[in-house]
Copies of this chain bind each other. A is one copy, B any other.
């Protein structure tokens, strides 16, 4: 995957944590994800289409989800209710929406609404796609941001 599609996510994650969540964090090195594991409690999943197609998935523990939902809304969360899943979906939306603005080229990518998965699970991607995972560590645990994108055929051909 073109690194020019990964850097926008680093910028966007920083901005969301600094400006929307106001929470200390350490952004780790993006790395190629070899398999679908590990398991998480919660994932926010967003589809991308346009000059690239794929998905952006943020995955985290239940305790971190409660913390992030609280940091976003200013309320305290003790259970993963509808307001909490809405908040996790909104954080995924802000990360993907912020990143796509800085994609290379014509930047014509669009993002879908988020779906939020609740329950111990892992996420598998089409086996022919490279997945770049960005770890983001907080005092309440790690947020993993998986970026699974490929340039669409028409866009890749136009560049060649």
Give A50's nearest chain B residue, CB to CB: B110
**In the assembled complex, which residues on chain B have CB atoms less than 8 Å from the CB atom of A112?**
47-49, 53-55, 112
In the complex, the answer to whether A114 meets B126 with C-beta atoms within 8 Å is yes
A residues whose Cβ falls under 8 Å from a Cβ of B = 36, 39, 43, 45-50, 53-55, 57, 82-83, 85-86, 89, 110-127, 129, 148, 150
- Scoring A36, A117, A123 by chain B CB atoms within 10 A of each residue's CB, the highest score goes to A117
Instruction: Report the 8 A-B pairs with minimum CB-CB distance, sorted nearest first.
Output: A47-B47, A47-B112, A119-B121, A49-B110, A85-B124, A116-B124, A121-B121, A55-B115
Question: Smallest distance from the beta carbon of A81 to chain B beta carbons, Å?
Answer: 10
B126 & A89 in contact (Cβ 8 Å cutoff): yes
Contact A47 B50 (CB under 8 A): no
CB distance from A34 to the nearest CB of B (A): 12
Instruction: Take A47-B48, A85-B36 as given contacts and tell me if A129 and B117 are in contact as well, using a CB distance cutoff of 8 Å.
Output: no
Determine whether the beta carbon of B82 is less than 8 Å from that of A148.
no
Contact between B110 and A110, CB atoms less than 8 A apart: yes
- Give Cα distance in the complex from A114 to B115, angstroms: 12
Quick check: A55 and B47 within 8 Å, CB to CB?
yes
24 residue pairs A–B, Cβ–Cβ below 8 Å: A36-B82, A39-B119, A43-B117, A45-B45, A45-B115, A47-B55, A49-B111, A50-B110, A53-B112, A54-B113, A55-B112, A55-B113, A55-B114, A55-B115, A57-B115, A82-B124, A83-B127, A112-B112, A116-B124, A116-B125, A117-B121, A117-B123, A118-B121, A121-B121
